Structure 1
């Protein structure tokens, strides 16, 4: 009840701060809901900043002293994950607001919002995002992170589709969304998604350590490193768009796929006695990926865009299964390491 009361007060504070900041930023002539000079970008910036601040405050309140019993290296990894999550919550919120304003702009054409009206919308967006971020700071599981990654990719891709410079982008591949005037939406989505992927890997490592302890620490460290590398490669796909450096973009995209597979295999084999449900899902997803690849390249039945969508969807389905299995096996309490160094026992 104490946590729920805090969450309610956090919602109220986020609304008030968001409404005030939004009104001040939008002061002047009325603005449209979406498009050039709209309320979309100011609302997204304010709501994103408040969501990040709400998560940081909640983590400080509810996880105070968590690092006290941890060795320095473990506390550093935990802190870096928290920082990455703070950035991710800001990015997820901002893109969610931008997508919502684009949809509302299409349905409410001609509507002009005053500073007060825009401020109220900013307050509502800040309250919703701030409440969710505050609750995440109370106790965030690996499964919650995987769901956040899944939803974020959907939101970011939909927003990139709506704002794409070339409406025929789908005839080639998803990388075409990273070209043109609205390229920042798709490329920014990939960068934040890379941060989220690396953070998911850090939490997977945390869960594996809680299950097996320091005995499996070296293998768990490799799991975390590989997931971090996969996240870095995914972020590189957005940092090096197709229209700038084609070779680097393609290498980063291929590296993301390879590193994701290697990290997944090592993660599954690190879980003690991998559950049959996870093994069955892994085998099924692998088969379901091979079939459309053959149909696309050997028979031309799928476009590259459709193939990419199938592979990404199946990969996220497998990741969801993995983190749910880990949630069943992982103890809820923190497990500080007894090793003073990660490299030396």
Structure 2
């Protein structure tokens, strides 16, 4: 299978390249969108543009955010990969490279649109019933477009594993909390955590899509993790390859299990849903237990925290099943939080260790 190895096409660091590209595109793109929306507002013969509704500043900003982030992330990501140093290059098959690019783009686009909607909601409350002329409204939309362009290009060009960790954290916590807040049944917690993904409502789709995309995002992160691990794991070439591939296999299992929980709703495919959830816990436990052999040079404090998390997880399971001290929802929430906290801790630890070794 053909493999992609991005050449080092520039002596400029990715940080400098990201800043230059962001500044080069931000103002022209902002101006273009300001002109487009100015023409739209003017053609509608509306000289009193509100923050919401149609035509409105808010709708213009939301559309701009989705379009700019989707296109800007793809272009910035491709350009950033070309500027990687030889030891940073990801050796991926073409289909896997495209998959990673699209998965990351989708996640960042959803995050950007959601954050923009939250910001607009706050502005709408703070400036209730405010109205602007078509010129002023177009100018505001252009300013938002400028900021969005700068942010997404500077982020995508210099994308690192820690950035994907932050995106994964924001994406999964935001998506789950939105599902909790908008659940059709406010007493969902009396049933179980998985009930958030049932009933076919918008909140249920939000919950399931969040888990599926989080699994895909974690799968993308596995490629970056493998690259970092090859610089962290000690031993000869055969040992390093064997250990890193083992960790990659376990992370693929966690990613697939997480996606499976969302892909198979509890009310439609209860067996597949439950199997995915249990597999997630089992693979997670195997990873923690075997990590001391796979990456023995991690800090003692990290291993202590890892074993502590595993002990808490087992204790909570015992308190749920034999003793019924916890209900199913409590155990699922605790297990979900513990696993996610450990994943973030592990990924950040590997990244920091790699950076210290490279420095």
How far apart are 1:279 and its partner, in Å? 0.5
Which residue in 2 is equivalent to 1:342?
none
Deviations 1:132-176 (CA, angstroms, capped at 9, x unpaired): 432332333323322221111121112212322222212222222
Give the superposition deviation at 1:295.
3.1
Alpha-carbon contact 1:88-1:192 (below 8 Å) kept: yes
Gaps of 5+ in 2: 1-15
Is contact 1:25–1:42 with CA below 8 Å preserved after alignment? no
Number of residues of Structure 1 aligned to a counterpart in Structure 2: 332
Q: CA deviation at 1:89?
A: 1.4
Q: Which moved further from structure 2: 325-334 or 169-178? A: 325-334
Give the Cα separation in 1 of the matches to 2:56 and 2:223: 38
Q: Relative to structure 1, is the Cα distance of residues 128 and 270 closer, same or farther in structure 2, using a 3 angstrom cutoff?
A: farther
Pair 1:7 & 2:25 matched: no
* Partner Cα distance (1:153, 1:308) in 2: 15
Moved more, 93-102 or 287-296: 93-102
Match of 1:228 in 2: 252
Moved more, 279-288 or 208-217: 208-217
Moved more, 244-253 or 89-98: 89-98
1:173 partnered with 2:197: no
For the residues of structure 2 that align with 1:315 and 1:230, how far apart are their CA atoms? Answer: 10
1:99-248 equivalences in 2 (<5 Å): 99=118, 107=125, 127=146, 129-179=148-198, 180-182=200-202, 183-212=204-233, 214-215=237-238, 216-248=240-272
Q: Is the 8 A contact 1:211 1:331 kept in 2?
A: no
Q: Say if 2:305 is the partner of 1:281.
A: yes
1:282 Cα deviation from its structure 2 partner: 0.4
- Give, in whole Å, the separation in 2 of the partners of 1:202 and 1:246: 31
Aligned twin of 1:64: 82
- Is 1:178–1:242's contact at 8 Å kept on the other side of the alignment? yes
Structure 1 stretch 96-105 or stretch 307-316: which is displaced more? 96-105
Partner of 2:100: 81
RMSD: 4.0
Compared CA separation, residues 3 and 200, structure 1 to 2 (3 A): closer
Residues 14-35 of structure 1 show CA distances to partners (whole Å, capped at 9, x for unaligned) of: 545666677889996988849x
User: Which of 58, 70, 73 in structure 2 is aligned with 1:52?
Assistant: 70
8 Å contact kept, 2:18–2:158: no
CA distance in 2, matches of 1:256, 1:19: 47
After superposition, the C-alpha distances for 1:269-313 in whole angstroms (9 at most, x for unaligned) are 322423212111101111222333333344444333333222222
**d(CA) in 2 for partners of 1:131 and 1:203?**
24
Deviation readout 1:182-225 (Å, 9 max, x if unpaired) = 12211111111111111222221111112348431233123223
Aligned residue for 1:330, secondary structure, equals helix
Q: Distance in 2 between matches of 1:264 and 1:119?
A: 53
Unaligned runs of 5+ in 1: 335-345
Cα 1:175–1:132 shift into 2, 3 Å: farther
2:8 aligns to what?
none
Asked if the contact 1:52/1:133 (under 8 Å) is kept, the reply is no
**SS of match in other structure, 2:250:** helix
Specify the SS of the correspondent of 2:82.
coil
Alpha-carbon distance in structure 2 between the residues aligned to 1:54 and 1:203: 21
Relative to structure 1, the CA distance from residue 275 to residue 147 in structure 2 (aligned partners, 3 Å threshold; closer, same or farther) is: same
Which whole-Å CA distance do the structure 1 matches of 2:148 and 2:306 have between them? 34
Structure 1 Cα separation of the partners of residues 282 and 211 of structure 2: 17
Q: TM-score, with normalisation over the residues of structure 2?
A: 0.74
Could you say which residue in structure 1 is the equivalent of 2:281? Answer: 257
